[in-house]
């Protein structure tokens, strides 16, 4: 690894292509640009240190750069050992205080890089998956006044910390904002997971039986978009309401043990471990593709494959072929990590524009209010959620109606 300024990155000379990616992304991140304008002009975050621990690709770099432009010192690490884009990291190291990240970190290096962010004594942390916030608690980093969390799995972990009485500062669960999960989790993952699978495999989607585990926000987006590409979509669920919803949306619903017998592609999106495991591997067809869109690499039991496969080889970038004890082969994409961020660029720019506008708004809200908040997980205030939606409508040139005073009165009254 080379050291550029205080950064620790793969290769600083990679910066030109990273710079092009960042400038391209920034061109389309008009909502973030607009909602951060005042803070950037006023240098509102001057004197603050912000730790950013997100998937380090171009849109993340735009967010980190913009926070630095608003006056903060920004320290960046990646929230996954396999999702840093090294050219983007090199370009970002020229824009923010420090970057500690490279593609293919070992687990030890991954945590070491997050610790480097914490050693800078950040006032605020922007996290994805909660590894940084959890580590800040374990290492008793007392500088932190508040945090924000990007994804469903991170929010679930942080709520568990709140429940156990161990959370020590307020966190805004950006994921809980409608501006986040309705767009990012659903349409963002719907498109970018297909992007990752196609880039990794170059296979045809139309006519394939695609099994989607989990019909939450991510699963809905996946099911919708795979159907749009001509796949025969099957949903597996554990929640009876979500299962019914998938059924009424016209998808086949069945237990995983039945679905795997007919699947061509299986994608997990549950946030839960071992959704695809030994009993399922044993009855899969030869040549099935396995991919994960959930936050952690626990949904497909990769350890079982590692321990029991007769043979293993890399057949293309991001495609590992395992030969099972019964002689059948399965193709695991992106080592069971987030396929959309390992094999592709993550969500489309316009979607991350909304999510990161949410992150910026949450950070600004924390800077203004952290001392009035309790150590709890908060939802992004509704007015900020809606401010971002209004800004996006403006960017898109879309106008909508307003309730008339008479309609407002009508809604308030029970008399008809």
Q: Interface with ligand NAD by CB under 6 A: which range of 4-12, 235-243, 305-313, 376-384?
A: 235-243
352 contact choice in ligand ADE, ligand NAD, none (CB below 5 to 8 Å, kind-dependent)? ligand ADE
147 contact choice in ligand ADE, ligand NAD, none (CB below 5 to 8 Å, kind-dependent)? none
Applying CB under 6 A, the site for ligand NAD has a residue count of 29
**Region of residue 230 (phi > 0: left; psi between -120 and 50: alpha; otherwise: beta):** left
Residue placing its CB nearer to ligand NAD in the complex, 12 or 346 = 346
Other C-beta atoms closer than 10 Å to the C-beta of 43 total 12
With tokens 């401010």, the residue in question is: 387
CA atoms within 13 A on the CB side of 183: 21
Query: Scanning residues 102 to 131, which ones bind ligand NAD (CB under 6 A)?
Result: none
Applying CB under 6 A, the site for ligand ADE has a residue count of 13
Other C-beta atoms closer than 10 Å to the C-beta of 165 total 8
| Strands across the sheet containing 329-333 | 252-253, 232-236, 209-213, 265-268, 288-292, 329-333, 319-323, 311-316
Distance separating alpha carbons of residues 153 and 151, to the nearest angstrom: 6
Residues 87, 127, 128, 385: which binds ligand ADE (CB under 6 A)? 128
CA distances from 184 to 76, 106, 351, 395 (A): 22, 28, 6, 18
Query: Scanning residues 309 to 368, which ones bind ligand ADE (CB under 6 A)?
Result: 341, 346-347, 352
57 near ligand NAD, rule: CB under 6 A: no
Residue placing its CB nearer to ligand NAD in the complex, 153 or 320 = 153
Q: Interface with ligand NAD by CB under 6 A: which range of 119-127, 162-170, 263-271, 314-322?
A: 263-271
179 near ligand NAD, rule: CB under 6 A: no
254 near ligand NAD, rule: CB under 6 A: no
CA distances from 346 to 40, 60, 191, 268, 384 (A): 26, 10, 9, 16, 24
Distance separating alpha carbons of residues 260 and 275, to the nearest angstrom: 11
57 near ligand ADE, rule: CB under 6 A: yes
242 contact choice in ligand ADE, ligand NAD, none (CB below 5 to 8 Å, kind-dependent)? ligand NAD
269 near ligand NAD, rule: CB under 6 A: yes
275 near ligand NAD, rule: CB under 6 A: yes
DSSP-derived letter for residue 398 is: -
Q: Interface with ligand ADE by CB under 6 A: which range of 49-57, 216-224, 272-280, 392-400?
A: 49-57
199 near ligand ADE, rule: CB under 6 A: no
Distance separating alpha carbons of residues 112 and 129, to the nearest angstrom: 16
406 membership: H or E segment, kind and range? helix 405-412
- Residues near ligand NAD, by CB under 6 A: 151-153, 181, 184-185, 189, 213-219, 236-239, 242, 269-272, 275, 293-295, 338, 340
Q: Name the residues that contact ligand ADE, by CB under 6 A.
A: 54-55, 57, 59-60, 128, 150-151, 188, 341, 346-347, 352
């Amino acid at each position: 690894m080379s050291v550029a300024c205080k950064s620790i990155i793969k290769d600083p000379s990679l910066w030109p292509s990273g710079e092009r990616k960042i400038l391209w992304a920034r061109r389309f991140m008009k909502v973030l640009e607009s909602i951060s304008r005042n803070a950037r002009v006023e240098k509102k975050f001057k004197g603050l240190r912000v730790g950013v621990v997100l998937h380090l690709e171009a849109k993340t770099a735009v967010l980190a750069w913009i926070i630095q432009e608003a006056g903060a010192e920004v320290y960046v690490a990646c929230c996954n050992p396999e999702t840093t884009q090294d050219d983007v990291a090199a370009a970002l190291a020229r824009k923010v205080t420090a970057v500690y990240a490279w593609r293919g970190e070992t687990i030890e290096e991954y945590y070491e890089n997050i610790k480097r962010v914490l050693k800078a004594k950040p006032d605020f942390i922007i996290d994805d998956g909660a590894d940084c916030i959890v580590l800040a608690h374990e290492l008793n980093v007392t500088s932190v006044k508040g945090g924000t969390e990007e994804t469903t799995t991170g929010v679930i972990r942080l709520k568990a910390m709140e429940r156990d009485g161990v959370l020590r500062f307020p966190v805004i669960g950006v994921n809980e904002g409608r501006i986040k999960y309705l767009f990012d989790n659903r349409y963002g993952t719907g498109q970018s997971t297909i992007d990752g699978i196609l880039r990794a495999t170059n296979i045809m989607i139309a006519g394939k039986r695609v099994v989607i585990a989990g019909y939450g926000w991510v699963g809905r987006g996946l099911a919708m978009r795979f159907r749009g590409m001509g796949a025969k979509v099957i949903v597996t669920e554990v929640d009876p309401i979500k299962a019914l919803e998938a059924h009424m949306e016209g998808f086949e619903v069945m237990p995983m043990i039945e679905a795997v017998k007919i699947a061509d592609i299986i994608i997990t999106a549950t946030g839960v471990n071992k959704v695809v495991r030994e009993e399922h591997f044993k009855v899969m067809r030869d040549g099935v593709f396995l991919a994960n869109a959930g936050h952690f690499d626990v949904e497909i039991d990769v350890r079982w494959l590692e321990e029991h496969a007769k043979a293993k080889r890399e057949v293309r970038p991001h495609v590992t072929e395992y030969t099972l004890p019964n002689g059948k082969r399965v193709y695991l994409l992106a080592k069971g990590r987030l396929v959309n961020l390992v094999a592709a660029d993550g969500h489309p720019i316009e979607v991350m524009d909304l999510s990161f506008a949410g992150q910026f708004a949450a950070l600004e809200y924390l800077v203004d209010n952290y001392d009035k908040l309790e150590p709890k997980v908060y939802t992004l205030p509704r007015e900020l959620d809606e401010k971002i939606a209004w800004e996006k409508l403006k960017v898109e040139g879309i106008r909508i109606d307003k309730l008339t005073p008479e309609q407002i009165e009508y809604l308030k009254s029970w008399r008809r």
